[in-house]
Each structure stands twice: as structure tokens, then as C-alpha cells.
């Protein structure tokens, strides 16, 4: 190994600018998940904590009376929203009529906003209730709104278990929140 400088390399910050045969997929928001591990999700409910924080810090894009909308911290696609009741309930049949109605209305509004700001072609909408059903956070009910585009499927998720996300979460939150009230 040599300490000789690489031609054209000023410092480590410019390393990614040197052309080579590799494509780089930058997903810096994933490091928070990797570094934290699963324990924080066992210690505290992130959906109960989110409304106590600023909208920017919690990724909340809209607040209703009984429910709120925030970006998924670990999205399947850019703009992946979650609609959560404020109450800590785990099953849809535990929600009041008012909560069900507001979750539905916020879901409809979320779809309209995502169509406007991201020009998506469709959506996956659903709730995974219980760990066995695939809920990552099974103690707090939440509905997913995942925007989809005609060409959004590629080999990354299948071969590399990787999802390419073209925007950082803060940028997406700002865009969706600004359009929510427009």
C-alpha cells in the first residue's frame, strides 16, 4: 500500500467523482436504521413519539384531529406515506368511526398530493396488522400509501435487496407538506 496521491484526487470528498465501472447508490438515511438496530422500536413507539416532535424532525406532512400523515423513514419508494391514528392501537377494528373516517380522508388526500408532486401512475395501499402479517411496528396501527410508477421495478429489489430512492427524505417531506395545503 502506498500513500502516493491519486492523480486528480484532492481529498476523500472527491473520490466519488473519479469515473470507474461501479454505479453508486447513495442512501444515507438508511444509516440511522442500521446504526440503531431493532431495539429503539421495542423501547418506544415511533408513531406515538412523532407528534411530540417538530414536523420536520418527525417527517410529518399533515396533522388531522384523530390521525396524522408522515413519511416512512424506511420507504419502499420515494413519497411512501404512513397514515396513523394518534391513539396507540394495533388493529383496525379497535379504531373509532371518527378515526376510520379520518384515516380514509387523509389517505385520499395523500394520494391526490402524491399524484400532483410525483406524477405517480398508481399506488399500493394497505395495512399489515400484527408481526405475522409483516408489520414492522405491530403495536401502532398505520396505513401505507406507496406511490408506484410504470417503470419503478428493476433488478435491485430482486437481486440485491436494494431500493433506489432518488430523493432524500427531508426534500420529499418538504415537497409533500407544501403541496398538502396548496
Tell me which residues are annotated as active site.
Answer: 142
Residue with cell 486528480: 8
Amino acid at each position: 500500500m502506498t500513500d502516493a496521491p491519486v492523480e486528480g484526487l484532492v481529498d476523500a470528498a472527491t473520490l466519488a467523482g473519479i469515473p470507474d465501472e461501479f454505479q453508486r447508490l447513495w442512501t444515507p438515511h438508511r444509516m440511522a436504521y442500521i446504526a440503531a438496530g431493532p431495539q429503539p422500536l421495542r423501547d418506544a413507539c415511533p408513531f406515538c413519539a412523532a407528534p411530540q416532535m417538530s414536523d420536520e424532525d418527525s417527517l410529518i406532512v399533515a396533522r388531522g384531529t384523530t390521525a396524522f400523515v408522515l413519511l416512512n423513514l424506511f420507504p419502499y419508494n420515494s413519497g411512501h406515506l404512513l397514515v396513523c391514528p394518534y391513539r396507540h392501537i394495533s388493529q383496525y377494528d379497535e379504531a373509532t368511526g371518527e378515526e376510520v373516517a379520518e384515516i380514509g380522508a387523509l389517505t385520499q388526500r395523500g394520494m391526490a398530493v402524491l399524484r400532483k408532486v410525483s406524477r405517480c401512475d398508481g399506488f399500493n395501499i394497505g395495512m399489515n396488522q400484527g408481526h405475522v402479517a409483516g408489520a414492522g411496528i405491530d403495536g401502532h396501527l398505520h396505513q401505507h400509501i406507496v406511490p408506484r410508477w410504470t417503470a419503478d421495478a428493476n433488478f435491485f429489489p430482486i437481486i440485491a435487496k436494494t431500493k433506489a430512492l432518488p430523493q432524500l427524505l427531508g426534500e420529499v417531506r418538504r415537497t409533500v407538506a407544501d403541496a398538502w395545503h396548496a
